[in-house]
């Protein structure tokens, strides 16, 4: 493995109105390149992703005035996109395809005249089989993740109070993150008093929605060593994708492709779960964190609920997890929320939220309704 | 089969048929649920599943479901994603394993004070959607030998 993340660029996040997805993307790219101590003229590869509305495509690179590129694509693996893009960039650098690849996410799902919930709840025409499911009301991520979470709860006794522990821990981390959209401390009681969205998920089990953009610069470890920031080395990557099997015997809701994605990434990096100092997990919902911790082997299957109790994931707990507040409390940039926080932590630039040990970080990406998964292992030392 | 008198009938927003779903909605209008049986490997899949998950072939015969199943999982939806889904108050969105094996994502209706539970026996029924729309297949709790499960 010969790649490292050398630059990070984040725009302001949240209710950022009046700026297009491309405008925000351009800002994030400039900031990432500047952060690395490079210029846009040094970039010879770009991989981009822009949420569900696909507002960025390869034309963006040339609108931005980038020179001749040797790698250029829009990537769509849903919530797994970030890990997939870093892995592609790392391979391109290792095999000589490119030397300096910007990986980027930008999205503006929030509109100044619409509630956040309305953003993802928009219906198209109710037609055919899809219309049948929409009319039945068995649709949208909130509802389908609630059905998945219920399955886990019924199988293992996982409780809403245990899900609360995840929301509370992440909010405590967010208090130390100046970029977090929600920083007011939470209690389990606050969580339990928050309204049901789709029982067993309450409002405080659900991620927020943000406008913004995030970019990183990936280059060779050798080159990164001479650049402006401490390099964050790509030790390992993996992916796993499983269909949402709707048939007898399906493990949907119980186990995800984080199993094989994590195993691949950890094997490649030569580490086990016990070696990970900082865990940055894709947290569309509290439940996603819980099931992902199990699938990565941080605890046995079914014991995620007990594992997260007692503030284990909170500042001062045994496992530093979602240290920026995650998508539940900080900002919603899909896989770039956990990825950017891992870069900050491994560099040691976490300020008030810096995890005490930060030599090795794990980053997860989860998309669809638990179908798409990616994992990165990042390290402070070169490998 | 239409909904039994003891169960509330849900309100469904209007749904229109498509070419590939015409036979499904025709069956639903008669209270039936069409499944698909793979021509190649005989595996039975849900009506909405285009390719066989086992052998990846599209060709299939339709098969009328026997009509009963068991609840795999569910959510009680308090914030519906469509205004017309607000009419009945919080509703149950479920996954039902029909006796033939496929899981159907359907509305689940229980008797008043009857809480859903894993393995709950259900009957698949159908009811018309609004504005003369297609019939919508949903599940209603069947009476177990001991009667409805207390909430």
Strand partners, B75: B93
- Count chain A–chain B contacts defined by CB atoms under 8 A: 145
CB-closest option in B15, B49, B93 to A126? B15
- Is the Cβ pair A247, B45 closer than 8 Å? yes
SS3 A278: strand
CA end-to-end span of chain B, whole Å?
Answer: 26
Strand partners, B38: B60
- Backbone dihedral region of A48: left (phi > 0), alpha (psi from -120 to 50 degrees) or beta? beta
Mean pLDDT for the stretch of residues A37-55:
95
How far apart (Å, rounded) are the C-alpha atoms in residues A130 and A164?
A: 33
- Backbone dihedral region of A69: left (phi > 0), alpha (psi from -120 to 50 degrees) or beta? beta
Q: Which of residues 39-98 of B touch A (CB under 8 A)?
A: 45-49, 53, 72-82, 85, 90-91, 93-95, 97
| Interface ipTM > 0.85 | yes
**CA-only gyration radius of chain B, Å:** 16
Q: Is B12 on the interface with A (CB under 8 A)?
A: yes
Q: What tens digit of pLDDT does each residue of A279-321 get?
A: 999 999 999 999 999 999 999 999 999 999 999 999 999 999 9
Q: Which residues are within 8 A (CB) of A187 and not within 5 positions of it... i.e. 6 or more apart?
A: A168
pTM to 2 decimal places? 0.95
Tell me which of B22, B81, B119, B137 to substitute to probe the interface with A (most A C-beta atoms closer than 10 Å).
B81
Mean pLDDT for the stretch of residues B127-143:
94
pLDDT band at B7 (very low <50, low <70, confident <90, very high): confident
Q: What tens digit of pLDDT does each residue of A70-115 get?
A: 999 999 999 999 999 999 999 999 999 999 999 999 999 998 886 6
Please indicate whether residue A372 is annotated as part of the active site. no
* Nearest CA-CA partner of A232 in A112, A337, A332, A361: A361
> Which one is catalytic: A237, A287, A332, A336?
A332
Strands A45-49 and A71-74: parallel
Q: Is B24 on the interface with A (CB under 8 A)?
A: yes
- Measured from the Cβ of residue A18, the count of other Cβ atoms closer than 10 Å reads 8
- Taking CB atoms and an 8 Å cutoff, what residues of chain B touch A128? 16-18, 20-21
Q: Which of residues 120-139 of A touch B (CB under 8 A)?
A: 120-121, 123, 125-139
Q: What tens digit of pLDDT does each residue of A173-189 get?
A: 999 999 999 999 999 99
- Is the Cβ pair B90, A150 closer than 8 Å? no
- Cα-Cα-Cα-Cα dihedral of A254, A119, A186, A143, to 10°? -30
Q: What tens digit of pLDDT does each residue of B44-94 get?
A: 999 999 999 999 999 999 999 999 999 999 999 999 988 889 988 899 999
- Sort A67 into a burial class: Cβ within 10 Å, 0-12 / 13-18 / 19+: exposed
Given a cut of 70, whether residue A322 has pLDDT beyond it is yes
Q: Give the neighbor-by-neighbor strand order of the sheet with B44-45.
A: B44-45, B34-38, B60-64
pLDDT band at A123 (very low <50, low <70, confident <90, very high): low
Q: Please, how many CA atoms are within 13 Å of residue B78, restricted to the half-sphere of its CB?
A: 11
How far apart (Å, rounded) are the C-alpha atoms in residues A130 and A136?
A: 10
Q: Which residues are within 8 A (CB) of B117 and not within 5 positions of it... i.e. 6 or more apart?
A: B71, B149
SS3 B32: coil
Local structure of residue B129 (DSSP, 8 states): P
Residue B35 and residue B60 in contact, taking contact as beta carbons nearer than 8 Å: no
pLDDT of residue A112: 87
Give how far B1 is from chain A: nearest CA, Å. Answer: 17
Q: Which residues are within 8 A (CB) of A103 and not within 5 positions of it... i.e. 6 or more apart?
A: A46, A47, A48, A82, A85, A86, A89, A215, A216, A218
CA end-to-end span of chain A, whole Å?
Answer: 6
pLDDT of residue A53: 85
With helix as H, strand as E and coil as C, how does A135-177 read?
A: HHCCCCHHHHHHHHHHHHHHHHCCCHHHHHHHHHHHHHHHCCC
């Amino acid at each position: 493995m010969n790649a490292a993340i050398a630059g990070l660029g984040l725009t302001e996040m949240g209710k950022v109105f009046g700026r297009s997805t491309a405008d925000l993307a351009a800002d994030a790219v400039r900031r990432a390149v500047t952060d690395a101590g490079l210029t846009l003229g040094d970039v010879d590869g770009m991989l981009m992703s822009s949420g569900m509305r696909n507002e960025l495509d390869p034309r963006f690179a040339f609108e931005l005035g980038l020179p001749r590129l040797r790698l250029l694509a829009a990537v769509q693996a849903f919530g797994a996109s970030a890990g997939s893009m870093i892995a592609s960039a790392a391979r391109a650098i290792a095999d000589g395809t490119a030397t300096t690849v910007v990986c980027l996410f930008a999205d503006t799902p929030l509109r100044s005249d619409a509630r956040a919930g309305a953003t993802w709840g928009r219906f198209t025409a109710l037609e055919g089989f899809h219309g049948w499911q929409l009319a039945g009301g068995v649709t949208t991520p909130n509802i389908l993740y609630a059905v998945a979470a219920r399955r886990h709860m019924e199988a293992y006794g996982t409780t809403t109070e245990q899900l609360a522990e995840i929301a509370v821990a992440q909010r405590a981390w967010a208090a130390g993150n100046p970029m977090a959209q929600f920083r007011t401390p939470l209690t389990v009681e606050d969580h339990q008093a928050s309204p049901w969205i789709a029982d067993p998920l309450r409002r405080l089990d659900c991620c927020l929605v943000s406008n913004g953009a995030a970019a990183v610069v990936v280059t060779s470890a050798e080159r990164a060593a001479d650049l402006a920031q401490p390099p964050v080395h790509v030790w390992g990557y993996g992916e796993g994708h499983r269909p949402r099997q709707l048939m007898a015997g399906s493990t949907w809701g119980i186990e995800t492709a984080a199993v094989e994605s994590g195993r691949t990434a950890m094997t490649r990096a030569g580490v086990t779960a016990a070696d990970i100092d900082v865990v940055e997990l894709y947290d569309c919902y509290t439940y996603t964190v819980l099931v992902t911790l199990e699938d990565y082997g941080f605890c046995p299957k079914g014991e995620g609920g007990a594992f997260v109790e007692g503030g284990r994931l909170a500042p001062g707990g045994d496992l530093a997890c979602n240290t920026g507040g995650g998508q539940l409390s900080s900002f919603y940039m899909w896989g770039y929320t956990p990825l950017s926080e891992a870069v900050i932590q491994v560099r040691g630039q976490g300020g008030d939220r810096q995890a005490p040990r930060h030599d090795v970080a794990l980053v997860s990406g989860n998309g669809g309704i638990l179908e798409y998964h990616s994992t990165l292992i990042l390290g402070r030392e070169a490998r | 089969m239409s909904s039994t008198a003891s169960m509330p009938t849900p309100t469904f927003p209007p749904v229109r048929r498509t070419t590939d779903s015409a036979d499904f909605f025709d069956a639903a209008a008669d209270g039936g649920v069409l499944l698909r049986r793979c021509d190649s490997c005989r595996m039975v899949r849900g009506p909405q599943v285009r390719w066989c998950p086992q052998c990846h072939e599209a060709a299939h015969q339709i098969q009328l479901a026997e009509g009963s199943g068991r609840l795999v999982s569910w959510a009680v939806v308090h914030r519906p994603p469509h205004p017309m889904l607000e009419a009945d108050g919080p509703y149950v969105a479920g996954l039902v394993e029909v006796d033939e094996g496929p899981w159907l994502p359907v509305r689940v209706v229980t008797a008043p004070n009857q809480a859903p539970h894993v393995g709950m026996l259900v009957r698949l029924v159908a009811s018309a959607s609004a504005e003369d729309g297609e019939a919508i297949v949903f599940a209603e709790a069947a009476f177990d030998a001991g009667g409805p499960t207390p909430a």
